[in-house]
Amino acid sequence: MGILEKISEIEKEIARTQKNKATEYHLGLLKAKLAKYRAQLLEPSKSSAVKGEGFDVMKSGDARVALIGFPSVGKSTFLSLMTSTASEAASYEFTTLTCIPGVIEYKGANIQLLDLPGIIEGAAQGKGRGRQVIAVARTADVVIMMLDATKGEVQRCLLERELESVGIRLNKSKPNIYFKPKKGGGISFNSTVTLTQCSEKLVQLILHEYKIFNAEVLFREDCSPDEFIDVIVGNRVYMPCLYVYNKIDQISMEEVDRLARRPHSVVISCGMKLNLDYLLEKLWEYLALTCIYTKKRGQRPDFTDAIILRKGASVEHVCHRIHRSLASQFKYALVWGTSTKYSPQRVGLTHMMEHEDVIQIVKK
């Protein structure tokens, strides 16, 4: 029996099994086996096959956004509208056959936008170059899931399932579980909260399935068996996702209102160029970028060339971005903006910068 057959057998078994107190251990073991087989499926084959052409594009700009969706939902049209890159768009499926990059210039930042080929059901198993598409999506900072508003929720559920099965967790935070394999001493299990979904016995069964017999486990929040398996496997990617419903000019106002009120969702129309500016605002919010402006002594701030950093960046990060030796010669910095109590404020390397702050660095 091949890996695909084993995976489908386990999925059927999970669907058949009733969820109650008596079956939770059985379900936990099945989920652990399923995660193990899926991990094997994603590993590249060891056969010395002829290597195909590269699919990924070199990372450039301040952030990377991947466009994922079924064929013919408007990904290429969106890329052509947002960037100066022309991606071929037509009314037939699979117009785009490789990864096409473009650059969005917004608030002084260069955001790399990747138009990926449409993925189909079963992409996680390698159908229709699905594995390459999903591998590129794992390297992005934010995923934009393009959906056809006329198709309802079907596409969203299918795409979420495909991405879940290859270890991409959308709009979720990393489970707060401390896990460390040891050389000996058995399994040490503790929790700082009351656990309703996992028990010590279930944790031991899952660990034994992965041939782990000595480990330290500490639950700091009430997590499900799936989240615990994610921690053991350790190669999961947690990333923000925007669900973008295109073609809203073809549905009723009530349906548009319902879709727009869903969490992490934006409604647009590429054909009529509706709501694209709001989508850019939401994208900036999800990327969590900040612009920092620099100032020389006795001169006005340079607002033409901003330093783009992640939210939560300190003065030290700004120094490293300007020059790697600047932090070692740093004496103090003067900062104007919302991160200070008064302007200008004299700060050290650990001071946290905020969006559109101005900084002047004084060297020793």
The mean per-residue pLDDT over the stretch 282-299 comes to 87
107: Cβ contacts below 8 Å, ≥ 6 apart? 284, 289, 291, 306
On the question of pLDDT at 314 being above 70, the answer is: yes
Q: 321-345, pLDDT tens digit by residue? A: 888 888 888 888 999 988 889 888 8
Listed ranges 64-78, 108-122, 258-272; the one with the highest mean pLDDT: 258-272
- What letter represents residue 92's amino acid? Y
CA distance 162 to 164: 6
* pLDDT attached to residue 42: 61
CA distance 173 to 171: 7
* pLDDT attached to residue 48: 44
Give the fold, CATH level 3, of 63-87+97-171+237-286: Rossmann fold (3.40.50)
63-87+97-171+237-286 and 289-363 agree in CATH topology: no
Of 117-131, 273-287, 345-359, minimum mean pLDDT range: 117-131
* pLDDT attached to residue 97: 62
Q: 95-146, pLDDT tens digit by residue? A: 556 677 788 888 888 888 888 776 665 555 555 556 677 777 788 888 888 8
* pLDDT attached to residue 50: 46
Q: 16-62, pLDDT tens digit by residue? A: 777 766 677 777 788 887 877 777 666 655 544 445 555 667 777 78
> Sign of the C-alpha dihedral, residues 245, 251, 255, 261?
positive
Give the fold, CATH level 3, of 289-363: Ubiquitin-like (UB roll) (3.10.20)
Q: What pLDDT band is residue 153 in, cutting at 50, 70 and 90?
A: confident
β-bridge partners, 181:
215
Q: Where are the domains of the chain?
A: 63-87+97-171+237-286, 176-222, 289-363
Q: 212-236, pLDDT tens digit by residue? A: 888 888 889 888 888 888 888 887 8
Number of H helices, E strands in the chain: 10, 16
On the question of pLDDT at 4 being above 80, the answer is: no
pTM, to two decimals: 0.76
